[in-house]
Every structure is written in structure tokens, then in C-alpha cells.
């Protein structure tokens, strides 16, 4: 799916290129060197190699992706959660907002948005992006789920499952 990489690159651009070193997965749980963990959903999700996000998952049978990133301490971006969420969507044009809300994720305040648009490349595909931005005293965490609109509902529960397992130290 063209454009998927552009949106995922937006995560890395927002928070600087993330180092791949230090990725640790034990019994299906990703332990970030930034001090948080999430459980990788079963059912065909594979860790993408050479990703600029701290964790990028691609599905084996569908053109969808999940990306997780964090910026901590001095790298932590400033701005409100809604502004930080909009920065994640820089790689989309012709955007329409499906949902924008403030919510909670495992006890943390989060900005949640679902947006549909096209990648910025010429002839870019339409895609739907679900984003959560969470901030705590140490870090800002980004969670993205990206899929073609017609396939969005199919694997979105996997994204929710991953998000529900988020634990920060």
C-alpha cells in the first residue's frame, strides 16, 4: 500500500529517528528501552525490520500497520496532546476527521483521533489512521493504526488489544 510508509515516517519525524537497538521481545511482549511495554497481538502480526518507529508491526495478509513510538526526557515534544496528534498526520492530505476526543488509556490521559485521507505522494491511496497520543511525567507515547478504509474494521481490534496492554514505568 503506497503511502503507508509516509505516515509511519511521520511518527519518526515527529520524535526524531528511533534507534532499533535495544528492542526486546519476550513471550510476545515488547519491552521498549524507553521504559514501557506492550503485548504484540497474535494472528499474523510481524515486527517490521528497519523501521524508524520504536515498534512497527505489519500484518502478513492485510495491508495494515501498527506503529508505536515514544520520546522521553529532553526529547519529549512540547504542545498540547491534540497538537501532537495532528503532527502524526502530516503525511496525509485531503483529511477528514472521523473522531477526535480526549480519553483515558490505562489510567493515562490520551488524545484519540481517527482520520481518513490520502498519502501526500501523487496518486496516494486513501487510508484511515487511528492515533492515540499519551503523555506522562517522563514521555510522550504515540500509537498508530493505519489501514485502507475498507479494511480498517478488520484488524482494528488487534490495535485496541495492543493499546490495552500498554504499561509505562
CATH of residue 63's domain is 3.40.1000.10
**Highest-confidence range of 17-31, 50-64, 150-164, by mean pLDDT?**
150-164
Confidence band for 32, pLDDT divided at 50, 70 and 90: very high
Sign of CA dihedral 60, 115, 76, 27: negative
Domain residues for the domain of 118 are 4-168
Give me the chain's average pLDDT, please.
Answer: 84
From residue 65, give the alpha-carbon distance in Å to each of 104, 121, 155, 169: 23, 18, 9, 25
When mean pLDDT is compared across 34-38, 67-71, 84-88, 128-132, the lowest value belongs to 84-88
d(CA 13, CA 87): 9
| Phi, psi dihedral angles at 109 (to 5 degrees) | -70, 135
Q: Which of 2-11, 27-36, 53-62, 98-107 has the lowest mean pLDDT?
A: 2-11
pLDDT at 11: 41
- 74-122: pLDDT as tens digits: 776 677 777 787 777 777 888 888 999 999 999 999 999 999 998 877 7
Q: Which three cell numbers stand for residue 95?
A: 483529511
What is the tally of structural domains in the chain?
1
pLDDT score at 58: 95
pTM of the model: 0.83
> What's the grid cell of residue 112?
484519540
Higher per-residue pLDDT: 90 or 139: 139
Q: How confident is the model at residue 8 (pLDDT cuts 50, 70, 90)?
A: low
pLDDT on residue 76: 67
Q: What pLDDT is stored for residue 129 in this prediction?
A: 94
Model pLDDT, residue 112: 94
Q: What percent of the chain has pLDDT over 90?
A: 52
Amino acid at each position: 500500500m503506497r503511502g503507508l510508509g509516509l505516515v509511519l515516517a511521520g511518527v519518526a519525524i515527529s520524535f526524531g529517528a528511533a534507534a532499533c537497538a535495544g528492542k526486546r521481545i519476550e513471550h510476545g511482549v515488547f519491552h521498549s528501552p524507553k521504559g514501557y511495554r506492550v503485548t504484540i497481538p497474535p494472528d499474523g502480526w510481524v515486527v517490521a525490520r528497519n523501521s524508524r518507529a520504536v515498534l512497527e508491526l505489519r500484518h502478513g495478509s492485510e495491508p495494515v500497520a501498527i506503529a508505536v513510538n515514544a520520546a522521553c526526557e529532553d526529547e519529549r515534544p512540547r504542545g498540547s496532546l491534540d497538537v501532537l496528534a495532528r503532527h502524526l498526520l502530516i503525511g496525509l492530505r485531503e483529511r477528514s476527521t472521523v473522531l477526535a476526543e480526549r480519553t483515558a488509556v490505562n489510567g493515562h490521559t490520551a488524545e484519540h483521533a481517527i482520520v481518513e485521507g490520502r498519502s501526500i505522494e501523487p496518486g496516494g491511496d486513501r487510508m484511515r489512521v487511528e492515533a492515540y497520543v499519551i503523555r506522562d511525567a517522563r514521555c510522550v507515547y504515540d500509537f498508530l493504526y493505519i489501514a485502507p478504509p475498507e479494511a480498517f474494521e478488520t484488524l482494528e481490534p488487534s490495535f485496541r488489544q495492543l493499546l490495552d496492554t500498554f504499561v509505562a514505568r
